[in-house]
Structure 1
């Protein structure tokens, strides 16, 4: 019985986390699938000689919503192009299916969507109006999980639907900026760390009941031990989806305009620094508790 239980556990791990029984495709095949599902916005004004710095936006489990568009407009106004990833249309996941299936813990999980992050960065590198050497990743909730798992992708921990992770896909990625990412069971950061030293900032509620901040603290501590420059900002007195001005206004998902303006200003300032000087400054504190 013990041997049988052990075998079942191994098979369950292989099915859920290892992707042993999932069909795998090449990056070129994923690129072809995602090509028509990356929405690109170019800033107004004169294009820099190397193209515009580019922010890859990876929305959460409901896909691109009103607040992602607001973020995109603010980022464009700051002189950055945006590439918004739609991971769900190619998978024929629409409307209420996203809420009932993905948001409640169903598939696809973050390590499956991670290939869309890699593909979006690759697509951005192929466009002359985008600067492949100045790319920043922004992810919300499930999208933040996907970004983190993409950055953990290497020979040991790659997306379960990808045959091989390109060794140079993140060469132009300067930073990742993540909003209330999921870091719990199935997320690979705490276990595997990141393959690349990509400075990262995380913004989330200090007592979030949708994604537990404690596991994100552990993940951030793992990154810091691995010398990845990491800053985790925990905010009290707000809800999980604090920057969402258009959906699910409830006791656990309410828009906080003041905090959203504050975080957006911090992010725009960060992007401005990255656009001017790709070489980052000294290590930042791992956790900042903000009221």
Structure 2
């Protein structure tokens, strides 16, 4: 059964963590906002660290948990989502749309200046959303998709996004084209580096405003608390620091 936008947001809302320029994110001034979407292993400490970084720069930041509302803990996420058995990017793109829709209605959010950020599976979900016109029943696995929540979307920041099969950017152009900054890992074992650059270069040739930077690192290089698997996923402090700096620059450039 497909959700409505309102129902999907009501499911996600209790599990969205808000950060703001003050200590508790409770001031009511309308401010630009960035929504952060985690990887297939769920919300990890480094995602909250990026959100706190955004808040420290004067923006609102919202960490959107896609798994707890579905009853999945960390182990279930690894078993179901990281394996590809459940919640492909196309389905989770409805979470991105619903979160934008719901949070843009809050008086403390400047709905004309929004950004999204996604890591791995979160990046896949964001990129899949960009390929959907959102005018037909069932798109993004929603009853009532609409492109309206994307009107204020200024940019997308994507860190080692998954671009293998069945990510839609392999076969579909982007119907929505916010300014996009991608951080790639040259030793990414989930998406071959040459394939990722091929897809991004193709999107750029079609007029999508995409820039990308390449880190000499592996998948999940910025997650020092992750369950890593030897050389396939290793923390790299230098690449993490560069990505944090790129995130700062992206927010200033896209949100002002």
TM-score, normalised via structure 2 length? 0.91
Summarize deviations over 1:89-148 as a string: whole Å, max 9, x none. Answer: 221111211112211222111111100101111122111111111111100000100111
Report if aligned partners of 1:24, 1:160 keep a CA contact under 8 Å in 2.
Answer: no
* Stretch moving more, 61-70 or 220-229: 220-229
* Stretch moving more, 113-122 or 151-160: 151-160
Question: How far 1:158 moved relative to its partner?
Answer: 6.2
TM-score, normalised via structure 1 length? 0.81
| Corresponding residue pairs, total | 253
Q: 3-state SS of the aligned residue for 1:234? A: strand
Question: How far 1:159 moved relative to its partner?
Answer: 3.9
Unaligned runs of 5+ in 2: none
Q: 3-state SS of the aligned residue for 1:218? A: helix
- Residue aligning to 1:189: 169
- Could you tell me how far apart the structure 2 residues matched to 1:157 and 1:137 are? 24
Question: How far 1:25 moved relative to its partner?
Answer: 2.2
- Could you tell me how far apart the structure 1 residues matched to 2:206 and 2:26 are? 37
Asked which structure has the greater CA Rg, the reply is: 1
Question: How far 1:156 moved relative to its partner?
Answer: 7.0
Distance 1:102 1:251, change over 3 A: same
- Residue aligning to 1:153: 132
The structure showing larger relative contact order (alpha-carbon pairs under 8 Å, at least 6 residues apart) is: 2
Match of residue 232, structure 1, among 209, 212, 218: 212
Counterpart check, 1:110 vs 2:95: no
- Residue aligning to 2:227: 248
Distance 1:49 1:66, change over 3 A: closer
- Residue aligning to 1:119: 98
- Could you tell me how far apart the structure 2 residues matched to 1:94 and 1:159 are? 27
Q: 3-state SS of the aligned residue for 1:35? A: helix
C-alpha RMSD over aligned residues? 2.2
- Could you tell me how far apart the structure 1 residues matched to 2:215 and 2:12 are? 35
